[in-house]
Amino acid sequence: MEWVILACGPSLREYQKEIQEYIQPTMITVGVNNIGGLFVPDYHVFVNRQRYKKYSGAVSPKSKLVLGYKFKGPCDYVLQFENEYPSSNGHMSLDGERIVCGGATVAYLAAGFAIMMGAKKITFAGLDGATKGYHYHESREATAGKLEMLEVASHGILSDINKMATVKILTPTVYEEYYAGFTGSV
């Protein structure tokens, strides 16, 4: 089963129409943090309490809420994970019902959740990258060194995810080895 992870990159808005056309009723969608009300995903994931406080009001009541283990309050699923962040040692594995990773952003933790729920194929949209002209949600607050570190970590994490479920990225990205675009996607 294919799961579509809706990350927060600017391409999510830019390619909204194409992404909506790509998503089929048999696919499961997962939004992370602030997806700008552009989609109503099946699941919505937050692991950062500040982002949850800022963006949770935009979560559709139709979406099942997935919160990191440090949250207190009602949700549909609690996401257990151990993540050394930030880290240039990007990796991800599953240990029972816990994700063990280094350098993972919420989009990658959402992919780990999808794999734990049975995903065999992970498709990202809005996973633009931290550098090379693309934007990342922390780009205004992060140094160039941190952005480079996140990008290095991302390559390792994507490689590990791809060993557990086939990975592709629909929207323009710096992770070219996984970029599929929309042509012939469905």
Tally Cβ neighbours within 10 Å of residue 105.
26
What pLDDT is attached to residue 130? 65
What is 2-178's CATH number?
Answer: 3.40.50
Phi, psi of 64 (to 5 degrees): -80, 130
What pLDDT is attached to residue 136? 46
What pLDDT is attached to residue 133? 47
Q: What is the mean pLDDT of each run of 10 residues along the chain (186 residues)?
A: 95 96 97 96 97 95 97 94 91 96 96 98 92 49 74 94 98 95 70
For residues 6 and 3, what is the distance between their CA atoms, to the nearest angstrom? 10
What pLDDT is attached to residue 131? 55
Respond yes or no on whether the N-terminal peptide bond of residue 10 is cis (omega within 30° of 0).
no
Residue with tokens 């050394």: 84
What pLDDT is attached to residue 157? 97
Residue ranges per structural domain of the chain: 2-178
Encoding tokens for residue 124?
A: 């990202």
Residue 107 CB partners (closer than 8 Å, separation 6+)? 5, 7, 8, 32, 124, 126, 127
pTM more than 0.75? yes
What pLDDT is attached to residue 14? 95
